[in-house]
Copies of this chain bind each other. A is one copy, B any other.
Amino acid sequence: MPALERLHERMAELTDLGALEMLASWDQLVMMPPEGGPGRAHQLGALARITHERATAQEIGGWLLELEGVELGERDRDMVRLARRDWERASRVPPELAADLSRAHAEGQESWALARANDDFASFAPALQRNVELAQAYAECLADGDDGRYQALLDDYDFGLRTEELSRLFAELSDALPPLVAEAQVHSPRRELEVPVDAQRTAVAGILRRIGVDGASWRVDVSAHPFTSWMGRRDTRLTTRYGDGDVESLLSSLHEYGHALYERQIDPALERTNLGRGTSMSVHESQSKLWENHVARSPAFAEVLAAELVAAGFPVSAAELHATLVGVERSLIRVSADPLTYPLHIILRFQLERAMIEGELAVPDLPAAWRDGMRLLLDLEVPSDAEGCLQDIHWGAGSFGYFPSYALGCLIAAQLWEAMEAEIGPRDEDLRRGEVGPIQRWLADRVHRHGRRLDTIPLLERATGGGLEVDPFLRYVAPLAGRS
């Protein structure tokens, strides 16, 4: 079967190129001396060009044609199915448009960074306009029937999720959450805990070691924004950051650990195939949110976290630490939002980016629409665009359709957590002792091992018995508002 063999080889090569891209980006953010930037941009550009060329090569179409109707084993059938989907989508985008997109995204990011620093939306508007137009053109290459452009963009991040379904879920959330927020601000108010950086660092190292992060196949480093890279199953690199006098590092290191564990527990037989990675942005985010919201923010695991801080020389009770990790406050900035208000930040972005892509919101009207939305969803006045529609890099980088996965991650995490506890029992006692083995194993079996063989919804149905729902998340946040 030479066509199958060729296809396997190409998928392996694309995996290797992807790992090199991860390495070059990780290095840029963690190790590279600052003046290496222009050289690195060239290197990443060459890698992206070659990857695109080899992922969209005409010969792949030939191999796929040869394989049509051929009887294959289960895994190969999935491999060929995904290869066909990816290749057909990529092939519908003309190379000139792909090049325009990548250039506009690079320029857009630069323009955005400057505009945010100067709180000057007008200077960013032309680049954003260009990104919106190119995203519309891109979406039109991919759109099927009456689905609308936004659906085509969403498919890149979460194949199979429907825009209308998202709208429905987000409408439920935007009805249910605001009253909870009002109650939670009284019942679980935000509080400060001034943990010195050294104690955070020691505690984070201790916690990660407890849950399996060893020096043999992991690295833990510091970067300006926490992220995770994987260059093969046995080379996982997560980063965190240590603010003086906060506890974000405890949450963010568990968050990144969730992403890392997903990639590490994929069936080894899928390694170096197109199936050997996380299936979608929302499922990936559900894995990070599960460890952030349901482990790190649980009263039970707070005992472990507090013990590590105490051992690191910072005296704190589990109750005080837990209260700090779950404190609720309506605020302007997404990345530092509490677990209850967080989805409202996402819903605003979803509504606005969808409207821009569908041509219903003009770019110059974005700042006003943002202010209106924040008033409606979070009852907040936005004092500046820097703290408003300029706060996130995504639109500057041309990423439209990405934001929903952040909220979906919260929902799916809650669904998986309930399904897991229903099956293997409440986790509290284990978590109090720092025992996470059963969680790791349940996730491996129900989520991780499948890689891309199952898309988001089929995966969720198999793991929980149902589709996307908001109720488990609402049950998760209810205690913050003093409800149970």
**Residues of A in contact with B (beta carbons under 8 Å apart):** 12-13, 15-17, 19-20, 23-24, 27, 31-36, 38-40, 42-43, 45-47, 49-50, 215-219, 231-236, 272
How close is A238's CB to chain B, nearest CB, in angstroms?
Answer: 12
Is A235 a contact partner of B46 (Cβ separation < 8 A)?
Answer: no
Is B23 a contact partner of A27 (Cβ separation < 8 A)?
Answer: yes
A16-B42 Cα distance, complex, nearest whole Å: 7
Is B38 a contact partner of A232 (Cβ separation < 8 A)?
Answer: yes
A231-B215 Cα distance, complex, nearest whole Å: 26
- Name, among A12, A13, A16, A217, the residue most crowded by chain B CB atoms within 10 Å (CB to CB): A16
Is A40 a contact partner of B272 (Cβ separation < 8 A)?
Answer: no
How close is A48's CB to chain B, nearest CB, in angstroms?
Answer: 11
In addition to A20-B43, A23-B24, A42-B272, 17 A-B residue pairs with Cβ atoms within 8 Å of each other are A15-B42, A16-B46, A16-B47, A20-B24, A23-B27, A23-B43, A27-B27, A33-B217, A33-B234, A33-B236, A34-B216, A38-B232, A38-B234, A39-B235, A40-B235, A42-B232, A43-B232
How close is A49's CB to chain B, nearest CB, in angstroms?
Answer: 8
Q: Which residues of B contact A272 (CB under 8 A)?
A: 42
Is B35 a contact partner of A217 (Cβ separation < 8 A)?
Answer: yes
Q: A234 with B35: in contact, given A12-B42, A16-B45 (CB under 8 Å)?
A: yes
A42-B16 Cα distance, complex, nearest whole Å: 7
| In-complex Cβ contact of A35 among B17, B50, B216 (8 A) | B216
How close is A471's CB to chain B, nearest CB, in angstroms?
Answer: 41
A407-B45 Cα distance, complex, nearest whole Å: 39
Q: A217 with B46: in contact, given A24-B20, A27-B23 (CB under 8 Å)?
A: no
Q: Which residues of B contact A40 (CB under 8 A)?
A: 231-232, 235
Is A231 a contact partner of B36 (Cβ separation < 8 A)?
Answer: yes
Q: Which residues of B contact A219 (CB under 8 A)?
A: 31, 33
Q: Which residues of B contact A12 (CB under 8 A)?
A: 42, 46
A16-B17 Cα distance, complex, nearest whole Å: 14
Q: Which residues of B contact A43 (CB under 8 A)?
A: 16, 19-20, 23, 231-232
How close is A306's CB to chain B, nearest CB, in angstroms?
Answer: 29
How close is A99's CB to chain B, nearest CB, in angstroms?
Answer: 13
Q: Which residues of B contact A20 (CB under 8 A)?
A: 20, 24, 43, 46-47
Chain B residue, CB-CB nearest to A36: B235
Q: 4 tightest CB-CB pairs across the interface, nearest first?
A: A39-B232, A36-B235, A16-B46, A35-B234
Name A's interface SS.
helix
A232-B27 Cα distance, complex, nearest whole Å: 14
- Name, among A13, A27, A45, A235, the residue most crowded by chain B CB atoms within 10 Å (CB to CB): A235
How close is A56's CB to chain B, nearest CB, in angstroms?
Answer: 16
Q: Which residues of B contact A31 (CB under 8 A)?
A: 31, 219
16 contacts across the A-B interface (CB closer than 8 A): A16-B47, A19-B42, A20-B20, A23-B27, A27-B27, A33-B215, A33-B216, A33-B234, A35-B216, A35-B234, A35-B235, A36-B234, A38-B232, A40-B231, A43-B231, A50-B50
A16-B51 Cα distance, complex, nearest whole Å: 14
How close is A152's CB to chain B, nearest CB, in angstroms?
Answer: 31
A46-B42 Cα distance, complex, nearest whole Å: 19
Is B13 a contact partner of A46 (Cβ separation < 8 A)?
Answer: yes
Q: A231 with B19: in contact, given A27-B27, A33-B217, A33-B219 (CB under 8 Å)?
A: no
Q: Which residues of B contact A215 (CB under 8 A)?
A: 33-34
Chain B residue, CB-CB nearest to A230: B39
A235-B36 Cα distance, complex, nearest whole Å: 5
Is B27 a contact partner of A233 (Cβ separation < 8 A)?
Answer: no
A49-B231 Cα distance, complex, nearest whole Å: 19
Is A231 a contact partner of B39 (Cβ separation < 8 A)?
Answer: yes
How close is A479's CB to chain B, nearest CB, in angstroms?
Answer: 39
Q: Which residues of B contact A36 (CB under 8 A)?
A: 217, 231-232, 234-235
A42-B11 Cα distance, complex, nearest whole Å: 12
A430-B19 Cα distance, complex, nearest whole Å: 48
How close is A464's CB to chain B, nearest CB, in angstroms?
Answer: 33
A232-B40 Cα distance, complex, nearest whole Å: 8
A38-B12 Cα distance, complex, nearest whole Å: 13
How close is A167's CB to chain B, nearest CB, in angstroms?
Answer: 41
How close is A315's CB to chain B, nearest CB, in angstroms?
Answer: 33
Is A46 a contact partner of B34 (Cβ separation < 8 A)?
Answer: no
A235-B42 Cα distance, complex, nearest whole Å: 13
How close is A180's CB to chain B, nearest CB, in angstroms?
Answer: 43
A45-B12 Cα distance, complex, nearest whole Å: 11
A92-B110 Cα distance, complex, nearest whole Å: 46
